[in-house]
Structures are given as C-alpha cells and as structure tokens.
Structure 1
Amino acid sequence: MNPAAIEQETLELLEWPRLAAHLAGFAGTAAGQRHCRALPLPASAAQSRTLLAETTELLALDGLIEGGLSLQGVADIGPCVALCAKGGVACGEALLELATTLAAARRLRRQIDEPALRPVTTALVAELRTLPELEQRLRFCLEEGGRVADRSSAPLEALRRQLQAARGERRERLQELLRRSAALLQDNVIAERNGRPVLAVKAGAAAQLPGQVHDSSASGQTVFIEPQAVLALGNRIRDLEGQERELEQAVLRELSAAVGEQASGLEVLQSTLVRLDAALARARYGAWLGAVRPELADAAEAPFDLQDLRHPLLLWQQKREAGQAVVPVSVSVAPELRVVAITGPNTGGKTVTLKSLGLAALMARAGLFLPCSGTPRLPWCGRVLADIGDEQSLQQNLSTFSGHIRRIARILEALNAPAPGAAGGASLVLLDEVGAGTDPAEGAALATALLQHLAERARLTVATTHFGELKALKYADPRFENASVAFDEQTLAPTYRLQWGIPGRSNALAIARRLGLDGALLEQAASQLAPRGEGDVNQVIAGLEQQRLRQQEAAEEAAALLARTELLHEELLSRWQQQQQQGAELQEQRRQQLERSIRQGQHEVRRIIRRLRQGDGGQRLDPAALGETARQAGRRLKHLEQEHRPRPERRQHGGWMPAVGDRVRVLSLGKAAEVLELVDHGRELTVRCGVLRLTVPLEGIEGLQGEKPSPPEVKVQVKGRRALAGPGPQVRTEGNTVDVRGLRVHEAEAAVEEKLRAASGPVWVIHGIGTGRLKRGLRAWLDTLPYVQRVSDAERSDGGAGCSVVYIH
C-alpha cells in the first residue's frame, strides 16, 4: 500500500483540513486561500525552518505598518498567464487585473526589502520581475472594467466615432416615430429584442407600421416591430459593431502576446505572491491564536517540550463560537523515551491530547506557530501516523477491532517504507484505545507486543489505553513512560489535565455511580475486581496521587515558612547594620572629644611654659617660686596625660585571629603566653604561660603589639523547616522546574530567584545549550547566593547540559 494513503488518512483523522480552512480565512487572495486549504507539508526540516522564518518576519512587518501589510490589488493571474503562454487571447478584465497585480507586487517588494531585518523574505522578493513597461502598456490600452480604450488603436477610435453617430441617428428616428405613431403603440418606450430596437405596437395596428416583427407578447395583444425606417441603419450599426469587435480582439491579441512573452517571469511572480500571502496568513493566524514560534531539531532523537499546549481547533471554537475554555496540556518527552501510555477515564481528554500533539507536529512542519507558552521544542516529524476513532464499517463487514487492525497494519507498512524527502526526520505514531474491541487478555497482549515493536521503529508512540498491563511496562523498559488524565474525586468529573509519571484509573465504577447505576450492582462489580488484583492496583495509584498531593501541600507550606524566615532574617540584618552605624558614629564623637582635650592640654602647657620663663609684668620670679611653679606644671601635665591617654581601641585588625604557635598576652595575668589550641571555632584558646596551662576566652587575650582579635564571623544561614520532616522532592516536576530559554540573563535571574524562594528541594533550571552565555551568566550569579549549596548539570533524561539542578541549603 502507498504510504501516502495512510498519511492522508491521518490528516483526516486529525482534522487537518478543518485547520487549513481556518488558516485560509486569513489569506488575502483567492490563490492564497486555495494554497492554505491545500496546506502542503514540506519534505525537509530546512524547508520548514524557511517557512517559520517567513512567518516570523511578516508577523513583525505586519505589526510595524499602519493598518498592516496589504495585498490589495493582487489577483490570481495564473489562468491568464497560462492562456497567454499557449497563444490564447485573454479578456480585457483579466489583463487589467494582471496590471494591478504588477503594481501591487512592486509595492510589496519596497515594503519587504530590508536584508538586515528580513533576510528570508527579502531574498524571496529580490529577484521578482514586476515588468513596469508591460504594466504601463496594459493600463494605456485598457480602461476600467477591462474595456479596450479608444486610444489603443487609431482605426478603432475612428470606427467608434462612426458607430456613435449611427446610433445617435437611429435613436432620433425612433423618437420621431414614437411621437407620430403614439396612437398605434401600447407603450411609448423603445424596447430591445435580439439586440435590435423595437416598438410595442398594438396587434390590430401592426399593418399600419411597416417593419420587421421580432417578437410578440404572451397575450398576443402586442407586437414588437423594428420600423422599416431604421432597418437599414440597424444593419449598418450591426456591421460596425462587428468591425469594432474585430479591432478590439486585435488589441487584446497583441496584449496577450506581450504577456505570453513574459510568462515564465509572471509565473514566478504569481508563485511568490501566493507564498507571501500564505506566510502572512500563517502569521496572522498564529497571532490570533496567541501562538509562539517553535524550534525544530534535525535529530530524530531530540526531545519533545511543549508547555501548555492547547488544541487549535478547540481554541478556535472558544474564540469564534464562544465555546468552553481550552485546558492546556504539557508534553515533555526525554530523548530516550519511545512510548508513552496515557491512561484514565473516558471523556477525560486522552484523545484530545493525542490530536493536540499530532497537530502540533504538523503545524510546526508547515511553518505555523504553536499555541503554547515559552518556546516549544520538538524534532522535525517527517511522518505523523494515527489510528484514532471508531473504524466500524457495515458495508465492508468490519468490526471495530478489525478496522483498527487494518489501519495499524498500514501504519507499520508506512514505517518500513523509505522516508519521503531528503531527510526522513522523526516518526510520530498516535494510537487511540490500542488493543480495544476484543478479548481483554488477548487485546492487552497484542497491545504490549505492538508498543514494544513500535519502540524499535518510531521516534515516539503515544497510546491511550485502559489495560492495566500497559501501565507496568514503564518499570521493565526505560523507553516507556506513563501519563494520565486527572480526575476530580469530589465532583467525579475529569479536569482534562495531563499528569506525567503516574498511571491513571479508569474510574468506571465511580462514573457509573454518579450516573445513577444501581448501588447493589456496583458493589457486586467491585467485588469482582479483588480476585483479579485490579482493586489493589487502583489503590496503589490512588495512594500515589494522594502522596503527590501531600508533597505539593508540604512544598507550599515549606515555601511559606521559608518566606517568613527570610523576612525575619532581613529584619535582623537591617537592625545589625543600624547598630553598626550607631557604634561608628559614637566612636567618631569620642575621637573628636579626645582631639579637643589634647588641644586644650597643649594650650595649657604652652601657657605654663610662658609663666616659667617670664614673671608677672615682665619681672623674673625667685628660684623658690620657679621650682614650685615647675612642680605644679609637671603635675598638671601628668594629670592631662593620664586623663587624655588614648584607651586601647577595640579595632578589628583586618580580621586578626591568633593561630597555634603565636605569642599573645593574657590580660588577666599580664604575661605573654603561647597558643596551643583553638577551641569552639576559635572562641576559646588553650595557652601555656611558663609552666601554667589554661583555657581563656578570645576576649581575654591580645597581641603583643596591642592588637585585639576579631571574633569569628557568624554565618547566618536561613534554613526552612521541611514540612512533614521529610526531604523535598528529588525528582523533576512542573512545580520545581523553571524554563528560562529565550530570556536575557537578568530576566532569567528574576525567574529563577522566584522559583528558589518557593522551593523545598532541588530546582531544575532549563536554559538550553545555544551559545552558553545564559548558562554561564546564571551559574556565576548562583555562586553568589548564600543559600545555594551547589549547582550541577541535570541527568541526561532531564536535559543534560541544557538544564542545571540547583541544590539549596
């Protein structure tokens, strides 16, 4: 079977034509709308990236131009050019549309041409031939509506003057006949039959007005006659009209030949304009959806990272048809994963998740933006194959199970066929209710074998199932992963949210109870589950869900406690800084007071010396008086020296601390001693003074030069009490993961700091690889945070070098 058939069938199952029709509504031309409805899928990742670049550039340009980028004047010139290239003659209206298209293409080229800002679209329009001479010739020869202008041909202009004069003469003759034969006429209006002017004559008076009868009324009371007086003039006018058509046709033939000579360039112009229209439609459709540009990887093993993905068709219903709000799902598939089994109750959103993922892969391949948050990343998917929905057919005598098996067989054949295009890319397989429709035991065995087979041949297989056996594959094969749609046990209603790592419960009995099924019947059904062990499995799953809920609540409590502790720490730090400032101010006041005292003392000394040298009034004193004065001066100086002697300053000499073997002075003994040991982190010392060995506090010693030791620095560490006295989550979840790809370093720091403040365990920071600038900037900043214990690369399954794990105290 042709692989293209199952791929086309997959597009129908995913409702790709419906999405293409939505996209076509944003196109500005008929050709662009046809292109969008077909919405071809590129055959290589390079082509898809080019389409994404076109979408990005035109989206930015559309926002810069007032009123948006306009395609007004662009027409579908393809049929006209094809006709002219074959030697045919196009009508005047088509040729005039071609002229307006050439002018519009020239305007678009001027608006787009900016190599620095729009390299891809600039290169696209750079080689366009807008043929201004052909445009001017078409506009000269054609008037509005496509009519051939008189100025296009001198013979045509002369002929039209003759024709106009003949028509005027005939009209005057008919008006004269209306006045003279009013009594013979049913109506005084000049009618037309078979392109000839006629008068409505009463049937009884037809013989009184000679001429040619062209028609009669249904009642037979009126006869439409072309009067004999204008028959010859009418024949002449008919002949002139024939000559006019021949001359007009000659002009159109000449113009069509000129268009045919430029057919190759015009075909390129047409395809370029269609491509621009489609790119602008993709840009406007993506902006309307609130979508973002995806990143496509060449490697088929690249991870899938789609955060808050919303189904585009459901989003269309929400916005255009006032539908229900779309619940987003997040898909994060590591490179080593090959199969994801989604379990959970019916109507829980499993099928919507499959279709959302399939449409996301196709949209990225077609150059469309994805309705996600952040930056979606996924491999280029060259094949998207799906088995979704009920394939029951009475005409073909196929049961549901048979229909699914036939489609799965075609999927396996397509996977074994050569990949299309230069690069096959990744293969994405979507299976809905795999193995359903037959005996549960055989269906589970077949589904298990099928998924293991697909794990070897497809990049990613996502399957929905109710089989409990498939939930256990994860624990035997690292290529398998479980996911489930969440279910609200209080309202017994699905939440449509996808949970990774936890298998889901079908909740069939709970839903049946909510829908009013007999209680005794439900109890009997529950008793049947116990011998098969399914009740125990459901209890284990329920326990896992409750444990996850408790961990989330504990993390929230720990985050709140940590926030309060940090506030207290900031308050204590502020008070300590305030006390330090007050102490420095007090020390400065004492220093200034000391300087004033010293100046006063010096002044007093100079005054005493002058008195010693001179007596009162210039009289010298006797020796006894001099001796007494000298003794008084000595006592005053000694008193000043003792009073203003600087006290030992308790300064921190650059963080001086005695070390083992240093000589220090023990203040209580007033003697030197040798340091033997530092106790209690340096707060106490064991010293030897002569034969005496004793332990003294750090404040009880000083250096031999009088320096005072600085107490060891007190490191304030804020440690949040972990809720339930247990460690925080040591596995990556949505709650402890922050994606900063595409952000600047300072923006990423703010996002990471907010996540760290609320964390109760390690935090996974997804920064990507790229140039490495974002990673280096974050690592350097994290090294300065006191509450960060260490930072390391994540495990390969969690992103490897593109993701950092931050461990906090």
Structure 2
Amino acid sequence: MNPLVAFPQTAPELSSANDRALQETLELLEWPLVCEHLSSFACTRMGRDAARDLILPGSIHSSRTALAETVELVTLDDLAEAGLSFRGVRDLRPVVQRCSKGGTTSGEELLSVAETLATARQLRRQIDDPELRPACTALIEMISTLPELEQRLKFALEEGGRVADRASAPLAGLRRQREGLRQERRDKLQELLRRLGPVLQDTVIAQRHARPVLAVKAGAVSQVPGQVHDSSASGSTLFVEPRSVLTLGNRLVDLESRIRDEEQRVLKELSVEVGNQQEPLSVLNGVLLRLDLALARGRYSRWLGGSVPRLEPQQEAPFRLQNLRHPLLVWQQKRACGPAVVPISVEVSTELRVVAITGPNTGGKTVTLKSIGLAALMARAGMLVPCSGEPSMPWCAQVLADIGDEQSLQQSLSTFSGHVKRISRILTALQQGPAPALVLLDEVGAGTDPSEGTALATALLKALADRARLTIATTHFGELKALKYSDARFENASVAFNAETLSPTYELLWGIPGRSNALAIATRLGLDQQVLDQAQELLAPAGDGEVNSVIRGLEEQRVRQQSAAEDAAALLARTELLHEELLQRWQKQKQQSAERQEQGRQRLEVSIREGQKEVRSLIRRLRDGRADGETARRAGQRLRKLENRHRPEPERRQHPGWKPQVGDRIRLLALGKAGDVLEISDDGLQLTVRCGVMRTTVDLSAVESLDGRKPEQPAKPVVKLKARSRSSGGAQVRTARNTVDVRGLRVHEAEAAVEEYLRSANGPVWVIHGIGTGKLKRGLRTWLDSLPYVERVTDADQGDGGPGCSVVWMR
C-alpha cells in the first residue's frame, strides 16, 4: 500500500457521468462540511489539508485498515498521559523535492526535517506493539527515522536555522575575524565621539546603508573627513562615515560576503544529504500524514460519540444502525448550543432492497436520508459512526443521492427536469460503477402530474430494486405504500407526527406507512367544518379513508407492542435482580458454611491439644516411682474416656463403591485430620498416608473420603504386578535434591530451570514459585500440563509451601 496518500484512489477510470454523480452526492450530503469538521482535529497543516480533501478508500480492505488505524490510535491517545503529539512534524515534500533536484534550501527548512525525524522516532516508540496495534505497527515498520541525518542537521544548525560555527572550521574563523573587526571599529568610533564632541549633533553611532555614521553639524563637516551617506530633512545634520573606519568597513563587507558563501556551502552540503534520502523521507512523510489523519478521525469520532462499524464483504449484508445521529446536527448541538438531536434506528434485512419513507413535511425524512448516507461514507472513510451498539453494514462502493431542488433558470431546467437528469446520472453510475450501491432519493416522482409521477416513481423503484443493494426514497404518493404488499423486497417507514401539537416528533417508524394529516391539521386550525366534511366525502370513493384507518390501526398496534415490550423488559430486569439476590444469598450461605467448618476444626484442634496435654500428665504420673496398681487402673480408665470422647463420630451416610487412589485426599478417623495417600498395598488393605509432616501406614478401614464415603473392602486378595515408574523409586517427601526455587525468574527462565530437574527426576519435584501476582505460577502450570511425561501438578502441603509451591508428579 502506498503510504504517500491517505487511501488508494476510487475507481480512476470512471466516466464523467459517474464522477459527476459522485460529486453531486457528496455535495448534497454535505460531506465537504463533515471533512471540514474532521480537519479541525488534525495536528499538522498537511493533515488538515488532506482531511478537507479526504479521499474515500477504493476497497473494503483499505476501509478496514483505515478503521483499524483509527481505533488503535484513538485508544493509544486515551492511554497516553498527554496524548499523542505531532509537535515538530512538517510537510517535507517541498523541501525534499527541492533538494532532490539539486537546489539549496534554507537552514530553517533543513532544521524542520530534523525535528520531523525526531518526532517520528518518538511516535514509533509509542505505537510499536504488534499485539495491541498491528495495523499501525505494520505502517511504521515501513519508515526509517534516519538518526544520522538528524544528528548531522542538528549539529550543523542552531535554533532558527542559523549555521553553527561548529559546522565549518573556516566559517568559525571568518566569524571570529568579523567580530574582531567590528570591535576595532566600535573602539575607533567611540574615540572619535569623545574627540569630536563639539561638532556633533548627537553622541550616538547611527546606521545608514548598513554603515556606521556620525551625526555631524553641517557647518563643521570639513572637520570630520570621511564619506557622507545621508543628511537630515532640514539639512543641518550630515551623516558621515569617518575615513579612519572606512577601510575597516570595507574589510567587514568582504568578510560578510565570504561568510555567506561559506554558509551557503554548508547548506548546500546539507541539502545534498537530504536529497540523497528522498525515498525514505517521502515514505516517512506519507506515513506521518496517514497517522495524523487516523488520529484526527479517532478524535473526531470520539467527540461525536461514535461506535466502531463492522463492514461486511457480502453485498446482501443487512444494515443495522441503532440510535443513529446526523453528525452535522451533533456538531451544531455541541458547538452552537443547538437543539438535542433525535436519533433514528435503521434495521434493513438481507432481503430488502427498497424502503419508502412517508410522512408530513419537516418531519425529518430528508435528515434520515442524509444520516444514512453519511454513515455509509464515514464507515468507508475509516471513521466511527455516531450511533450506539455495534453498527454493521455492507461496504458501499457507491453512495448516490438525489436530494433537494434541481431547478435552474440558467439551464432552463424545471424541478422535474432537474430530478430526471440527476436520476439518469445515478442509473448510469449504477450500470458502469462498482457494487454494492446505496441510493437515496428525496421526493421521488415529484414536480409533475401526480398520476404520472406515481407511475414513474413506481417503475424507478422497481428498477433500482434490481440494480442497487438498498434504495431509500421519501415520497408523498400513497400508491407507493402498497408496493410492500406485492413485492417482498419493499418496506415502508414513516416519520411520526403528533396530531395534538401539530408538530413532528422526528422519530422513524419501521413497517408502518405515514398517513395523511392534512384534514386533522385543518380541523385543529379551525377550517370551516362544511369544507372539511365535503373533503372527507371526496376522499371516500378513493378509499383513502380506509387506508388511513388501517394505518391508524397499525400505529395503535405498534403502541401496544411497544408497551408490552417495555413490560417484558421491566419483568426481565426484576428477574435479573432476583437472580442476583439469590446468588448473593447462596454465596453468603457458602461463606457461613466455610466459617462453621473452620470453627469446628479449631474446636477439634483445641480438644486434641487438651487431650494430648492430659495424656502427657497421665504418663508422668505412671512414670512416678510411687505409682501403684490403683494409679495404673485409674489412668487406663481415663485414657479410655479420652479415646471415646475424641474419636470422631462415624458418618451416618454410606456411599459404597469408593476406593482411595494414590494422590487422593482422605481423612484419618483416629486423628480427624486430612492427609494424602502416598502408596497402596498390593492387597489394597493398607495405605501409606502423609498427614502434615507425619508419614504413617494405616488400615483401609481407618480412613474415609473427605465427603464421608467409606472405603469398599476388596472381595478377595488381588495379586498386582506393578511396573516401576519414574516416580516410584524417588523420595515422596520434599528434600533439597528434589526441590527447585524459581522465585524472581521469568516464565521462560523458570521453564528451563524446572526442565533440567524433571529430566533427572526419580519421583515428585517440588517447585517453589511464590504467590505474588500469580503470573509465574499460571505460566508454569500451563507449560507443565502440556508435557506428556507429567502426570499431574498439585499445590504442596501447607508445611511445604502451600499455594506458593507446586508438586510435579511424573508418569
């Protein structure tokens, strides 16, 4: 894609008729005014100029790319602390063109090249992120910021474009000589001022023709030998350059000429270097222009409150625009404190081809046409559409419109003739131009005899239904309302009107044709009742009364359906609130249950500690040399009471069929604490269990599952031949040899460290990763789950690190 233009040109081979139809459409929809508003959000002068003459993309791929650039840059602009800045960016095309042709440009223009390169490098650092901003990152990958050229220009030029002394040793020497001569001349002039004070009109050294002069009295000019450069208006004062400084002045003139030549030589060298980089600088300028336009589109769309449209490649894709607002009316509302904009919603299914909008004048029909047309153009240009939700529409290769009065006295065109000529150009554009097309017609068939106009409008809409993806037409002809019932490609819509207030509501109603309100308005305005009755009688034979009755019934049905929909929405909202309340109660009960379990566990631990304390006391009494048989008997009775008191009550629910497996969490009935099954004997009757730091072997009947299920006793001894696995011979407890600490490492570094341990592991491996944000743990767990030789990964016991340590069990 060529970055030197905003987008590829649209259909360069179109005929003049197509060009004129497109240009007329843009003017009728006031697209240039939208572009003018867009230009106010651009950061650079070239961006503002390009926005005013915005070129529409010629393919859906280009539109999607522009839209992606818009979204990415406006999102980054919101995240950046001070937003994205294009300060220092200049249009490099004139400078580069002049330098590439061998010309010499000014130091100020060359310095603008360096500033543009610096800003481009800063923007590239901000934008570069292939994951978050793939479209803009691909765009900036095309540019080179030429740091050597930037440093060369900034080294040779000072602020304001002046050639620096450091740019050239001869230049620095010439400037030092010039400064020395100037100082010598100033000293001599000061000496003359002191010596010639009586013959001078003023003691100030003046300038005439870039030469220093003294203001000498006219009568004493002979006392000051030198060259007279000027005189006062009265002739009483002559401005004389003393002869003693004439030589110094001439030498300074020569030095000035040599300095200018040296400066021009430096600027020439710099211009040659810029000209040698014509191609990368041209590409850089084009990319910066596209970025500026994309940011302007994003800021303008954000200001409008727009939503990202989804452009569908299928020509028959539906139009879905929820709460669409006219962008120029939004501008008027926000910038000129205009009235609030009434949004409209557009839902056009795949099968529909023509929508006829009817209703009274000033009801918003034309605004509806323009809003839909501008929405299609804005989406195609890469802008967000001023509506809510997720708008979607097909990518419209052509938007063609006939809106307004085409009457022209100079061309001898009536209103009807003007409409016919414009529609003819639209039909030609549809035949020769690309598809799909959106056609907008205002007052189709108007300006001639109603019967002939109705016939012509009907034939035209049927022809457009065959050629265009969607045609939206406004009309006052009642016969066009009936096309919907004979052709499924047609649909009716109307603008709402309040008969009580005699004012439009600017709402768009779908599926219901607009009905005539002329008699209702006339009645409310107090027209003679006899005239109204006679008009009603004249309408009856044509059936207009029945049609209006049907339309009125449809409107009443729509109101009822809308009321029912609102009731359903309210019911749904109450249901969601009830669901949320039930969910909160369930979570609260779950939390209370966990708290009760924790309290029970704490009471059990306290009881165990008390029992252990009493047992130790009994042991000390038995070990006492004075203890006799009675003491032993009493100690035994007390131990049996302690055993009965601390033995956990068996779970009353029985769940047959449970068999513990290695790695399961079980409960030891004697201790009432949970443990892990490390090994199971061959006959399945004995388990090796680890409980905390203690490891013991217990009978199968001495354990149960955590949910209270009792183990199923084996029916008969089973002889098992168990192959020795990689983990069977290793230590089942944590040691220094099977523990690896990866805290502080990145995920890929930790993976490499753990993999070395796993290759030589002969049992489980403890990986200490800490808790922190959990990113390291999640990354390791995801990687370990993908290894075929890892059986499972669990959290370590609390004594071995708990959630901060993972145990890797090998297959």
TM-score range, shorter chain: 0.5 to 0.7
Q: What is the letter of the counterpart of residue 428 of structure 1? A: L
Aligned to 1:102: 117
CA deviation map 1:637-672 (0-9, x unaligned): xxxxxxxxxxxxxxxxxxxxxxxxxxxxxxxxxxxx
Question: Aligned pairs, how many?
Answer: 566
Matched, 1:362 2:377: yes
Partner residue in 2 for 1:455: 465
Partner of 1:483: 493
Q: Aligned AA for 2:335?
A: R
Structure 2 residue matching 1:539: 3-state secondary structure: helix
Cα separation, 2, equivalents of 1:562 and 1:159: 88
Give the drift of 1:99: 0.8
- The CA distance in 1 between the partners of 2:155 and 2:333, in whole Å, is 51
- The aligned counterpart of 2:481 is 471
Counterpart of 1:128 in 2: which secondary structure? coil
The answer as to whether partners of 1:486 and 1:494 remain within 8 angstroms in 2 is yes
Which of 201, 207, 212 in structure 2 is aligned with 1:192?
Answer: 207
Whether the 8 Å contact between 1:343 and 1:506 is mirrored in structure 2 is no
Aligned to 1:437: 447
Residue of structure 1 in register with 2:105 after alignment: 90
How far apart, in 2, do the equivalents of 1:570 and 1:290 lie? Answer: 31
Tell me the distance in 2 between the aligned counterparts of 1:200 and 1:158. Answer: 34
Question: Is the 8 Å Cα contact of residues 18 and 433 (structure 2) preserved in structure 1?
Answer: no
Deviation per residue, 1:509-561 (Å, 9 max, x gap): 55567778777776666565445443443333223212322343455567779
Residue in structure 1 matched with residue 84 of structure 2 by the alignment? 69
Q: 1:560 to 1:186 in 2, by over 3 A?
A: same
Q: In structure 1, how many angstroms separate the alpha carbons of the residues matched to 2:512 and 2:120?
A: 56
1:149 counterpart = 2:159: no
Change (3 A) 1:214 1:15: farther
In 2: Cα distance, 1:426 partner to 1:245 partner: 63
The reply to whether residue 158 of structure 1 matches residue 173 of structure 2 is: yes
Q: After TM superposition, give the deviation of residue 180 of structure 1 in Å.
A: 5.0
For residues 205-216 of structure 1, what are the structure 2 equivalents within 5 Å?
211-215=226-230
CA distance in 1, matches of 2:234, 2:528: 79
Give SS of 1:296's match.
strand
> Pick from 268, 281, 290: which aligns with 1:266?
281
Distance 1:225-1:457 versus aligned 2 partners, 3 A rule: farther
Find the aligned partners of 2:256 and 2:441 in 1 and give their Cα distance: 69
- Report how far residue 167 of structure 1 moved: 2.2
SS at 1:486 equivalent: strand
Matches within 5 A, 1:601-680: none
Give me the whole-angstrom Cα distance separating, in 1, the residues matched to 2:231 and 2:188. Answer: 22
Matched, 1:57 2:72: yes
Contact 1:346 1:506 in 2 (8 A): no
SS in 1 for 2:385: coil
- Go from structure 1 to structure 2 and tell me whether the alpha carbon gap of 1:520 and 1:263 turns closer, same or farther (over 3 Å shift): farther
Please list every run of 5 or more consecutive structure 2 residues that lacks an aligned counterpart in the other structure: 1-15, 582-811
| Residue aligned with 1:482, SS | strand
Match of 1:702 in 2: none
Structure 2 contact 321–346 (Cα < 8 Å) conserved: yes
Deviations 1:134-168 (A, max 9, x none): 11111110011110001111111111111112222
- Residue type matched to 1:281 in 2? A
Shift in Å, 1:221: 6.4
Equivalent residue for 1:239, pick from 254, 261, 269: 254
Shift of 1:214: 4.3
| TM-score, structure 1 normalization | 0.66
What are the within-5 Å matches in structure 2 for residues 126-137 of structure 1? 126-137=141-152
Question: Do the aligned partners of residues 184 and 375 (structure 1) sit closer, same or farther apart at CA in structure 2, a change above 3 Å counting?
Answer: farther
Bigger mean CA deviation after superposition, 508-517 or 455-464: 508-517
Name the structure 1 match of 2:303. 288
Cα distance in 2 for residues equivalent to 1:287 and 1:566: 32
Task: State the alpha-carbon separation in 2 of the partners of residues 75 and 559 from structure 1.
Answer: 55
In 1, Cα distance between equivalents of 2:269 and 2:443: 65
1:173 & 1:517 partners in 2: Cα distance? 103
Range that drifts further, 87-96 or 557-566: 557-566
CA distance in 2 between partners of 1:440 and 1:218 (Å)? 85
Q: What does residue range 404-803 of structure 1 map to in structure 2 within 5 Å?
A: 404-419=419-434, 425-511=435-521, 528-553=538-563
1:398-435 C-alpha deviation (Å, 9 max, x unpaired) = 2222222111111111111142xxxxx41001111111
State the TM-score, normalizing by the size of structure 2: 0.65
Following superposition, the deviation at residue 218 of structure 1 comes to 6.0
| Corresponding residue SS for 2:360 | coil
Higher alpha-carbon deviation: 16-25 or 374-383:
16-25
Q: For residues 551 and 526 of structure 2, what CA distance do their matches in structure 1 show?
A: 25
Contact 2:124–2:140 (CA under 8 A) maintained in structure 1? yes
Q: Is the 8 A contact 1:28 1:71 kept in 2?
A: yes
Distance across 2 between alignment mates of 1:527 and 1:195: 98
Separation of aligned partners in 2, 1:516 and 1:235: 98
Separation in 2 of the partners of 1:353 and 1:10?
Answer: 15
- Seen in structure 2, the aligned counterparts of structure 1 residues 193 and 361 have a Cα distance that, compared at 3 Å, is farther
Measured in 2, the distance between the counterparts of 1:539 and 1:221 equals 104
2:763 corresponds to which residue? none
- Paired residues for 1:110-121 under 5 Å: 110-121=125-136
Give the aligned partner of residue 335 of structure 2: 320
Partner of 1:7: 22
Whole-angstrom CA distance in 1 between matches of 2:230 and 2:22: 63
Distance 1:348 1:199 in 2: 82
> Does the 8 Å contact 1:213/1:223 carry over to 2?
yes
Write the distance in 2 (CA, Å) between the matches of 1:218 and 1:244: 36
In structure 2, the partner of 1:21 is: 36
Gapped regions of structure 1 (runs ≥ 5): 420-424, 572-809
Indicate the SS of the match to 1:117.
Answer: coil
